Amino acid sequence: MTHANASPLTADSPNALAAVEAEIARACKDARRDRASVTLIAVSKTFAADAITPVIEAGQRVFGENRVQEARSKWPALTSVYPGIALHLIGPLQSNKAKEAVALFDAIHSVDRPSICQALAKEIESQKKHPQLFVQINTGEEPQKAGIAPGDADAFLASCRDTYGLQISGLMCIPPVDEPPAAHFALTAKIAARNGLQNLSMGMSADFATAIALGATHVRVGSAIFGHR
Ligand SMILES: *Cc1c(COP(=O)(O)O)cnc(C)c1O
């Protein structure tokens, strides 16, 4: 999909959402999974409220953002009009933003180091708010990418629980762009299974069907719904 400007995007996004929904339903059926076992996170990063509104109007209620500041500047106005929206932070988190992140988000997919665990534990305690937490796994061990190396995952998950008292609900991964994603999804699922974690945040616009086949419970889909960024 290519678009010359923002207006056709907002007009097309409900249709694009329906197409993504159909693809998720098909992937669930192929994998003999219940559609309700997969949450579609519509990734609205970089898109303004006028592009997001038609997608909310079409019934979507779960959205993903990758920056705390951007989310703070556009979502409170939308959530005051549309109740029942869940916001997921899918991008990197700095410790000094943990307070705002816990206040704004219903889920955080980027837990990836002790300083973040500490900051989140403090805010969860003081705000009495419990966002769903995912530990990000750097399955490709890419130096520029956030996340825990697969070999360090079990120890990190144990320290989340034992040192910081955090309840981790699942794992998240972003496979390397230049590799087939299936092995990365399978590795993430394997680490989750051996640590007793139920949730798997994996799959984006190009590969969410593959991710569902390999057990994804949360797919993060941006451009296939909103158009190119
Ligand atoms: C932007 C982003 C997505 C969505 O990517 P698309 O290819 O547009 O679907 C998913 N996950 C993360 C972590 C992202 O930053």
Classified as helix, coil or strand, 209 is helix
204 C-beta closer than 6 A to ligand 1: yes
Q: Is the pLDDT of residue 185 over 90?
A: yes
- Rounded distance, CA 82 to CA 8, Å? 23
Q: Give 73's strand partners.
A: none
Side-chain-side CA neighbours of 124 within 13 Å: the count stands at: 18
- What is the residue type of 201? S
Cβ atoms < 10 Å from Cβ of 26:
13
Q: Give 86's strand partners.
A: 62
- Rounded distance, CA 71 to CA 91, Å? 11
Side-chain-side CA neighbours of 52 within 13 Å: the count stands at: 25
Structure tokens at 31: 């994998």
Give kind and range of the element (H or E) at residue 86.
strand 86-89
- pLDDT computed for residue 8 by the predictor: 46
- pLDDT computed for residue 11 by the predictor: 61
Q: Is the pLDDT of residue 213 over 60?
A: yes
- Residues 108/87, Cβ–Cβ less than 8 Å: no
Give the ligand 1 atom nearest the CA of 223.
Answer: 8
- Whole-number average pLDDT of the chain: 95
- Rounded distance, CA 121 to CA 98, Å? 9
The alpha carbon of 175 and the centre of ligand 1 are apart by a number of angstroms equal to 11
Classified as helix, coil or strand, 132 is strand
- Residues 28/207, Cβ–Cβ less than 8 Å: no
- What is the residue type of 81? V
Kindly report, residue by residue over 58-67, the tens digit of the pLDDT: 999 999 999 9
* Ligand 1, pocket-test mutation among 66, 87, 208, most atoms within 8 A of CB: 66
The alpha carbon of 172 and the centre of ligand 1 are apart by a number of angstroms equal to 12
220 C-beta closer than 6 A to ligand 1: yes
221 C-beta closer than 6 A to ligand 1: yes
Kindly report, residue by residue over 128-170, the tens digit of the pLDDT: 999 999 999 999 999 999 999 999 999 999 999 999 999 999 9
Give the ligand 1 atom nearest the CA of 221.
Answer: 9
Full-model pTM: 0.95
